[in-house]
Amino acid sequence: MTVNHPRSGAPCKISPRGASMIMRKVRDQPRTTRQDLVNDLKRAGTTVSKKTISNTLLRHGLKSCSARKVPLLKPAHVQAHLKFANDHLDDPAEKWEKVMWSDETKIELFGLNSTRRVWRKKKDEYNPKNTIPTVKHGGGNIILWGCFSAKGTGRLYRIEGRMDGAMYREILANNLLPSVRALKMGRGWVFQHDNNRKHTARATKEWLRKKHIKVLEWPSQSPDLNPIENLWRELKVHIAQRQPRNLKHLEKCSFDDCAGNEGVAFEVSHPDFQVDEEMNLVARRDVMDSGTVMFIHGVNEHAEDMAQVDIVGAPPRSPQTLRVSH
């Protein structure tokens, strides 16, 4: 016969049934507030504080997080994503080692600084070291182009002015091809870029064809599938920590003391960008029982992004992972 002895510590203010109720509510409606849950429990006859709600959710492995921003997907985009996942689900790791990923990014002068927290005393709130400088219209930005593969990082290039198709092809000629040679990609390498009009222009396609560059077919509205987004995030965090004062200093931080506007290698401007066991390239496709298709890349806790779409009638499948390690 089993006997339940009194347990040490204060009893839980929320019964197992109440905990199940709020967990079900949060699972079905992730945007539910703590006050909503307090009100739900009160109507059920249990009075608790928002702190108790937080503790209960935390005990069940849930915490409040900022909702990830993902592209708005139309039905055609959803089907294209699903096709991409199915087409590449069983690809061997060797195939992904041959991919040269690329992208452009905008780095704001006071971008990530706005989210930084400081430890200070109440009276020290306006001490310069405890403040974040702000200017109207964000203080400006710079645009960068970069590329990398499982073999390492390629060149980083600052885009001056408005980029058109001709400028893009010049960037590829002066930065992509030297990066491929430097990383010793060998024969059979594949180039990835998104479906920006400058990338898919007839002249650009012809240039790529003449250079015998094979391009990875890429679904529209899918920046979350590109692992280079992890590198951009790391770069922006690194720059924010250095607190650039103006655009010139911002560029200097981006290139890490490499002068001029010529393309410079990521590994020169930011040594932490080596692709190693701590930052494998991951493209994972999980199809949940509910028919939800989820694409996740990256293992960096600050950079893991995902796009989630519901496919009506999609059959459940086991999670599989495509991992590319250096």
Q: Is the pLDDT at 197 greater than 60, yes or no?
A: yes
- Does 30 share its domain with 137? no
Task: Provide the pLDDT confidence category of residue 314 given band limits of 50, 70 and 90.
Answer: very low
Distance between CA 226 and CA 217 in Å, rounded? Answer: 12
pLDDT at 319: 31
Distance between CA 112 and CA 236 in Å, rounded? Answer: 7
Model confidence pLDDT, tens digit, residues 131-177: 665 555 556 888 899 999 999 889 989 998 999 999 999 999 999 99
pLDDT at 277: 38
Task: Provide the pLDDT confidence category of residue 262 given band limits of 50, 70 and 90.
Answer: very low
Give me the long-range contacts of 121-127 (CB less than 8 A, separation at least 24).
none
What phi and psi, each to the nearest 5 degrees, are found at residue 205?
Answer: -60, -40
Q: Is the pLDDT at 279 greater than 50, yes or no?
A: no
Structural domain for 25, as ranges: 16-59
Task: Provide the pLDDT confidence category of residue 209 given band limits of 50, 70 and 90.
Answer: very high
- Does 101 share its domain with 208? yes
Q: Which residues pair with 317 in a beta bridge?
A: 287
- Does 25 share its domain with 135? no
Q: Is the pLDDT at 321 greater than 50, yes or no?
A: no
- Does 138 share its domain with 211? yes
Number of domains forming the structure of the chain: 2
- Does 44 share its domain with 148? no
Distance between CA 2 and CA 202 in Å, rounded? Answer: 77
Task: Kindly state the greatest CA–CA separation across the chain.
Answer: 82
pTM for this predicted structure = 0.61
Model confidence pLDDT, tens digit, residues 3-53: 666 555 556 788 888 889 988 988 888 888 899 999 998 998 889 899 998
Distance set, CA 148 to CA 59, 85, 215, 324 (Å): 40, 21, 15, 13
* Domain edge (last residue) among 226, 241, 273: 273
Half-sphere exposure in the Cβ direction for 283 (13 Å, CA): 27
Q: Is the pLDDT at 70 greater than 60, yes or no?
A: yes
The answer to the question of residue 79 being in a domain is no
Contact (Cβ atoms closer than 8 angstroms) between residue 270 and residue 238: yes
Of 316 and 189, more confident: 189
Q: Is the pLDDT at 100 greater than 70, yes or no?
A: yes
- Does 187 share its domain with 38? no
Residue 227, domain CATH: 3.30.420.10
pLDDT at 68: 64
Average pLDDT over residues 89-117: 81
- Does 111 share its domain with 250? yes
- Does 164 share its domain with 37? no
